Amino acid sequence: MMAVLDALLGTVNVAFLYAILIWLLVDSLRQSTRNNHARVVLHYFKRGGPMVFAVFTVLSCAVISVMNIALAFYQYSSRRIIGFNSVSLVLTWVLATIVSFYSMRTKVRENKRFRFPLVLILWWFFACIIDALLLSSKLVKKFESINLWFFLSKDNVVDSVSLPLLVLLCFNVCARENSDLEQEQMLLQKEEESSMEEEDEQAFTNASMWSKLAFRWLNPIFKTGRIQKLELGHIPPVPPSETAENASSVLEESLRKQKLKGGSLTKAIAYSIWKSLALNAVLAGVNTGASYIGPLLITNFVNFLLGDNGDSSIQYGLVLAFIFFLAKTAESLSQRQWYFGAQRIGIRVRAALTSLIYSKSLLMKCAGPTQGKIINLINVDVERIGDFCWYIHGVWLLPVQVILALVILYINLGGTPSFAAFGVTILVMVCNTPLANKQEGLHSKIMEAKDSRIKVTSETMKNIRILKLHSWETSFLQKLLQLRETERRWLQKYLYTCSAVATLFWTSPTLVSVVTFGACILVKTELTTATVLSALATFRILQEPIYNLPELISMIIQTKVSVDRIQEFIKEDDQNQFINRHSSKISAVAIEIKPGEYVWETNDQTHKNPTIQITGKLVIKKGQKVAICGSVGSGKSSLICCLLGEIPLVSGAVTKVYGTRSYVPQSPWIQSGTVRENILFGKQMKKDFYEDVLDGCALHQDINMWGDGDLNPVEERGINLSGGQKQRIQLARAVYNDSDIYFLDDPFSAVDAHTGTHLFKKCLMKLLYDKTVVYATHQLEFLEAADLILVMKDGKIVESGSYKDLIACPNSELVQQMAAYQETLHQINPCQEDDSASCRPCQKNQIEVAEENIQEIMEDWGRSKEEEAETGRVKWSVYSTFVISAYKGVLVPVILLCQILFQVMQMGSNYWISWATEQKGRVNNKQLMGTFALLSFGGTIFILGRTVLMAAVAVETAQRLFLGMITSVFRAPVSFFDTTPSSRIMSRSSTDQSTVDTDIPYRLAGLVFALIQLLSIIVLMSQVAWQVILLFFVVFAISIWYQAYYITTARELARMVGIRKAPILHHFSESIAGAATIRCFNQEKLFMTKLKALIDDYSRVAFHNFGTMEWLSVRINFLFNLVFYFVLVILVTLPRSTIDPSLAGLVATYGLNLNVLQAWVIWNLCNVENKMISVERILQFSSIPSEAPLIIQDCRPEPEWPKEGKVELRNLHIRYDPAAPMVLKGVTCVFPAQKKIGVVGRTGSGKSTLVQALFRVVEPLEGCILIDGVDISKIGLQDLRSKLGIIPQDPTLFLGTVRTNLDPLEQHADQELWEVLSKCHLAEIVRRDPRLLDAPVAENGENWSVGQRQLVCLARLLLKKRRILVLDEATASIDTATDNLIQKTIREETNGCTVITVAHRIPTVIDNDRVLVLDEGTIVEYDEPAQLLQNNSSSFSKLVSEFLRRSSQSSFQKR
């Protein structure tokens, strides 16, 4: 046996010898070819630490080498023979000494950091482990005769001296290697902070080895958290190696290398983190090895307890106890460092992948992956890959654990029983595998169901205002609840499968032990208390690999899927390489448009944008103004996208654009932040130019109205800005960019007549007079000033030329569109045309008419708020609500009873078999196994009952919490959604709900069950030695103090982790939505920097959150290890007559699990409170103040109401908040039945508020509104809103089909749908798709133009056939010809209806029966249009004059 061991060790030594030699040769060759230019000496060497470490390393190697040489000479001289192992060991150590000296000398000469070769480090670790094992085995064998000379004997002196040196060497290497990257980053920082700040901010990086082991570097954060509420500013930055900048650059470099080799993303990730993974693997190995020392030595300890008492025996027992203590301490420390290291690697991988996906998504076009898919990559796939860093070592640890367990069983029980145990272990694993596969399948189903629900929830939350105005929220809620019911059914099946897996986990030691002990009896292997208890301890450790195998397989599969998904995403062709972008050249050409065909590309076949075909060459010169016009859906926006390089070129030549570019999309893209940030968009502030831009874009009045001026916060998607304000802000952003070429997509549709004129004259013709401007427009009055007009039809440029040339051709497309425009002008009183020229221009502040937005008046009330977070402990009411949610909590005591009975049965069975085998022949084999099996399987029944009941409670609790939250959110007033970003609602509906579904019930139950186990062990220990109770009281007191000290900081960190994730997702969503704008402005770098800052904010909180948990675990682990040690000491020192050896052995066996159990209690205790924050957040949204009831049974109007449609406003006073000013001030008027009323007024006059009041979005402070004599405040909201119709200014389409968008409630036949489509001139467009009414509509209607979306909304309104209709500029994005037809349709179809039109364009209201002019919340004018036009001084008359003056040809001569 010794010969085989000698040969084996010698072989390994030789392998290391060759490896070190090869490294030396390769490095020598590299040194000879390297330039010897001296590098700048870093201040790293100012400190003596690294040099001392290097010298100590070389000296240690030298000492060990000399001692091994001396030992080899001694062996040869005394025995005339020398072992293969001794020779190879001497040679390897001598070479290791040479290489360590060579490495130190090389680094000093080149002024480099000390980093010893990896092969040398591995050799030190290997030598340390072998040395420790050899010395330990000798110690245990010769323990009876141990003394000081034992360590100094000729056979042991080398091992005794080498081991401490090797241990110090390994610890130092770990500390140095672990902080290597962080140190390098610190050295390269250009700006040095003061020493105090640097120490505080780099607490982890500068920490000593012992500080890192005990997590003492976290103490300053705990002190801060104890004194005050912890905020982001109190958290030190993440270590440099974990920063997004460093992590992403390392991964990108790795990816570049892998691409050259044709490698994969998996290899690239592994290559970027392999050093950290290797160190982590060493820690995992040490932890596993230490955990098996207990079961190995328990035999010796129990035999000692059964033996005779004597001084030498007590000494032996005390040393055994001390070895147990050292092993448990090593296990605890290595586990803490292993887990924390895994989390660090996870943080780094998440940061790198998130940055990688973001940089790629900025290059993706509209035809690329959907926003939802990209967000899923971040939310699900990146998280899963990060989590896998924690599981990765299980791949090799699992077989190691099984082998170690079998070795121990073989030593104690022999071959047959150990093989029987192995067979049953494999059988249990095999049985577990199909369950795990089923779990995975069900989990996939849950995720699919969740994706469907989240998609609908997201769209619903974004469009909740529309749903409420149409009174559709109840139907959409039902649809959402149906999706949740599907998810709940899959969840129920999944949790019941989890119950089966959990039952198998808890009963696997029972099953293995019954079979193993049965095999012992069959082969007549003697069972003793010592061997039985050692076997039971081993079975308990085997529990983990049995349980982990299916989960590990599942994680590997899921991670592979996630890696493949990300790899597929980053490998997609960069369709957006801007091949049309060219540097500015001296010639006069700005854009060269060449013949070609451009097609929107998509994988999901949902887009149906027209193909752009350019048949002839066009040249646009610098400084020219180019107008693009055409009917709805003709391809105007797509042509601009072609020029921007946003649509792939399928055939033909590339369009060339010379110079820098700015882009104003048709649907405004506004960032969260401030108005100033949106305009500057990464540029430096130039005050004079900035003021000119504000003036040119008519923003001065808005800025003066906002309390914070241009620092006014802009909320998500610009929700607190009106459509016109958003349009003008993004126009200002483009102008301030000071580009060579401007692309403006219908910039005048969202503004009124005067503002449109102002923008055209001051902005387009003045500020941009020398710039090239390409603008698409429906306002044909703006065509005259263009140098070149491009007329679009069916995706082709059908006409191009100057206005004069095109208008001269009677059959041209432009002439036909102008004819429709002239028809519009003729609707206005001709006499007004004559007077218009003599009218003086009115001041802007008197006549500006723009849509008003509620939020403008709300001032501070509507400010963008940081997400609210509770402070202090999670309230007990949250726990109690959670516990009693399901079945009023009646099953909770039953579950607890099942766990207690299981614990009693398990301990009873273990005590029985240890007692029965204490004395040979105490019971016969039949009684022994019969009773043991009965007790064991009795416990199995209770555990099965517990797991099944837990699953039932978990499902019911999750469902009730979800229903409470979603119902509350749907019943919330519109103002709640205006001030609450949808991302906050989504995070609760997705992340928090998922935590409640599958995590929290088991965390909470796990805590309680672990406490029951812990208490049962304490009770067991107290049966042997009552003194243990006193010890536990002290330890529990200290533990509770530690936990209380810890939780104040940890709780706030956990809350911050949840809050800091949302901004990353928000930035992603925002950037993807505005990717075309970001690319056009060349601001990718700015947005990437912002993302990395957000990732670092999240990482620093997550990093310290993980660290705090380990800080607590280290301390509590040590306390319980100490308790275990003292218990063993008590057992050793007590007289044998006073203790039951079987019971004492059982105490020692269960004590081995004490630190694991205690760690499980602490882990769950920390996690429960952290996870319960999810319940707290859900309950926050379960108690939102709701709006008025949907139906009031006692006050329901008649089914036919309203019959007439008469609307009376009586002394209406409205304000949005007690602190805000009054918006409507005593408005009193009557809208006669079946008449058309136009409502006009400047920004802030109260137009939109009037509409909101009509729909009871805001309730009046005083006064009332009557419809056909019914006070609308007395009836239910559903009864009111379902009887009114509205077309909002922002046209909204839902993901689905044409049919579901027209008729979401499925109340109409297909024939009715086709009729309204024909009336809205959409039937032909819908018939182009063979799927007709089932043609898909993309998310937010992205595959329809804005004008087409407005027509769909109009069709939706006409289908409802309401008596009272509200049109909020329903045709703003529609060309004049179509608009005339639509206005005719509206007049015909709404005959007999009361129509209230909030107007921004004069032709929309000129033919109304009445016009209401509002100013500052009061009525200025209310009369028939003809009457108001007769008075030239009336506000309405001035407005019409401005429109006519703008429309006259003389106004558009170039200046």
Kindly report, residue by residue over 1182-1200, the tens digit of the pLDDT.
Answer: 888 888 888 888 888 888 8
**Strand (E) or helix (H) holding 1287:** strand 1284-1287
CA 1144 to chain centroid: 51
Residue pLDDT, tens place only, 735-750: 888 888 888 888 877 6
In the structure, what pLDDT confidence band is assigned to residue 848 with cuts at 50, 70 and 90?
very low
In terms of pLDDT, which residue wins out, 956 or 863? Answer: 956
Q: What is the CA radius of gyration of the chain?
A: 39
Helix or strand run (H / E) with residue 352: helix 311-361
Most confident range (mean pLDDT) of 188-192, 308-312, 1426-1430 is: 1426-1430
Mean pLDDT to the nearest integer, 1431-1440: 76
Q: How distant, in Å, are the alpha carbons of 294, 319, 474, 998 from that of 314?
A: 19, 9, 77, 51
Report d(CA 288, CA 903) in Å as an integer: 26
Q: What is the largest CA-CA distance in the chain?
A: 130
Nearest to 848 by CA among 1253, 1416, 1455: 1416
Structure token digits, residue 208: 């000593």
1238 torsion bin: left (phi>0), alpha (psi -120 to 50), beta (else): beta
- Torsional sign, CA 1047, 1052, 1055, 1061: negative
CA atoms within 13 A on the CB side of 501: 23
- Name the residue type at position 298: I
Give the residue, 36 or 1373, on which the prediction is more confident.
1373
Question: 1197-1247 pLDDT, tens per residue?
Answer: 888 888 888 888 888 888 877 777 778 888 888 888 888 888 887 666 777
Q: Flag the least confident range among 135-144, 289-298, 600-609, 822-831.
A: 600-609
| Residues ≥6 apart with Cβ < 8 Å to 804 | none
* Helix/strand/coil for 1199: coil
- Please, what sign has the CA dihedral across residues 582, 583, 585, 589? positive
| Secondary structure (H, E, C), 1097-1118 | HHHHHHHHHHHHHHHHHHHHHH
In a 13 Å sphere around the CA of 880, the CA atoms on its Cβ side amount to 3
pLDDT bracket for residue 838 (50, 70, 90): very low
CA separation for the pair 1169, 776 (Å, rounded): 56
Most confidently modeled range among 8-17, 164-173, 340-349, 1269-1278: 340-349
Cβ atoms of residues 508 and 354 within 8 Å = no
Q: Is the pLDDT of residue 1 over 50?
A: no
Strands in 558-639 per DSSP E: 581-582, 589-593, 596-598, 612-614, 618-621, 625-630
- Cis bond upstream, residue 1202 (ω within 30): yes
- At residue 825, the pLDDT reads 61
- Find the mean pLDDT for residues 221-237: 81
CA–CA distance, 481 with 453 (Å, rounded to integer):
9
* CA atoms of 585 and 75, how far apart (whole Å): 86
User: Across the chain, what does the average pLDDT equal?
Assistant: 76
Average pLDDT over residues 1010-1029: 79
Residue 41 and residue 1242: Cα distance in Å, rounded?
A: 68
* CA–CA gap between residue 1133 and residue 1128 (Å, rounded): 9
Integer Cα distance of 1212 and 1261 in angstroms:
8
Report the alpha-carbon distance of residue 638 to residue 640 in Å, rounded: 5
pTM: 0.68
Q: Is the pLDDT of residue 484 over 60?
A: yes
Q: What angle do CA 232, 234, 236 make, to 5 degrees?
A: 90
- For residue 832, is pLDDT > 50? no
Three-class SS state of 236: coil
User: What is the tens place of the pLDDT at every residue in 669-707?
Assistant: 888 888 888 888 888 888 888 888 888 888 887 788 777
The per-residue pLDDT for 1076 is 83
Residue 852: its pLDDT value, please?
37
Average pLDDT of the residues in 1109-1137: 81
Position 41 confidence tier, pLDDT thresholds 50, 70, 90: very low
Element (H, E) at 1413: strand 1410-1415
| Confidence label for 835 from pLDDT (cuts 50, 70 and 90) | very low
Q: How deeply is 133 buried, as exposed, middle or buried, from its count of CB atoms within 10 A (0-12, 13-18, 19+)? A: exposed
Over residues 491-500, the mean pLDDT reads 87
Return the DSSP state at 460.
H
Per residue, the 3-state secondary structure of 353-377, as one string, reads: HHHHHHHHHCCCCCCCCCHHHHHHH
Burial 599-623 (b: 16+ CB within 10 A, else e): bbebeeeebbbbebbbeeebebebe
Separation of alpha carbons 685 and 757, rounded Å: 27
Confidence of residue 216 (pLDDT cuts 50, 70, 90): confident
Task: Specify the higher pLDDT residue, 864 or 654.
Answer: 654
Dihedral sign (CA 669, 673, 675, 681): negative
Rounded to 5°, angle at Cα 108 from 102 and 109: 90
CA-nearest of 953, 1024, 962 to 995 is 962
So what's the pLDDT on residue 311? 45
Q: Which of 339-348, 376-385, 442-451 has the lowest mean pLDDT?
A: 376-385
Mean pLDDT of 1414-1422: 83
Task: Give dist(CA 824, CA 1443) in Å, integer.
Answer: 12
Q: For residue 1415, what are the β-bridge partners?
A: 1418
The rounded distance, in Å, linking the Cα atoms of 322 and 315 is 11
Query: What CA–CA distance (Å, rounded) separates 1004 from 1165?
Result: 8
Residue 1376, pLDDT > 70, answer no
Predicted confidence (pLDDT) at residue 1450 exceeds the cutoff of 60: no
Band (pLDDT 50/70/90 cuts) for residue 1443 is low
Residue 53 near residue 172 (C-beta atoms within 8 A) = yes
Q: What's the pLDDT at 402?
A: 83
In 777-867, beta strands by DSSP E: 788-793, 796-801
Token pair 């002008």 is at which residue?
A: 825
Give pLDDT, residue 430. Answer: 79
Crossing angle (nearest 10°) for helices 311-361 and 244-260: 80
CA 1351 to each of CA 821, 1292, 1321: distance values in angstroms, whole numbers, following the listed order: 19, 11, 8
Token pair in block for residue 689: 């130019």
In 1125-1234, the DSSP E strands lie at: 1207-1214, 1224-1231
Residue 864 pLDDT > 50, yes or no? no
Instruction: Judge whether 1261 and 1240 are in contact, CB under 8 Å.
Output: no
Q: How confident is the model at residue 1164 (pLDDT cuts 50, 70, 90)?
A: confident
C-beta of residue 661 within 8 angstroms of C-beta of residue 743: yes
Q: What tokens does 1118 get?
A: 């040590």
From CA 216, how far away is CA 586, in angstroms rounded?
65
What's the 3-state SS for 26-79? HHHHHHHHCCCCCCCCCHHHHCCHHHHHHHHHHHHHHHHHHHHHHHHHHHHHHH
What pLDDT sits at residue 753?
65
Q: What percent of the chain has pLDDT over 70?
A: 80
The pLDDT of residue 181? 43
| CB-based contact 37:110 (threshold 8 Å) | no
Give yes or no for a contact between 646 and 1080, defined as CB atoms under 8 angstroms apart: no
| CB of 1108 closer than 8 Å to CB of 406 | no
Strand partners, 597: 613, 651
User: Which of the listed ranges 194-208, 276-290, 1241-1255 does the model predict with the highest average pLDDT?
Assistant: 276-290
- Res. 361: pLDDT tops 60: yes
Name residue, tokens 């690294």: 50
**729, 736 Cβ separation under 8 angstroms:** no
Residue 768 is inside which H or E element, if any? none
Residue whose entry in the numeric block shows the structure tokens 């809350």? 1055
- pLDDT of the residue at 798: 83
Cα distance between residue 1006 and residue 1164, in whole Å: 7
Residue 1451 DSSP class: G
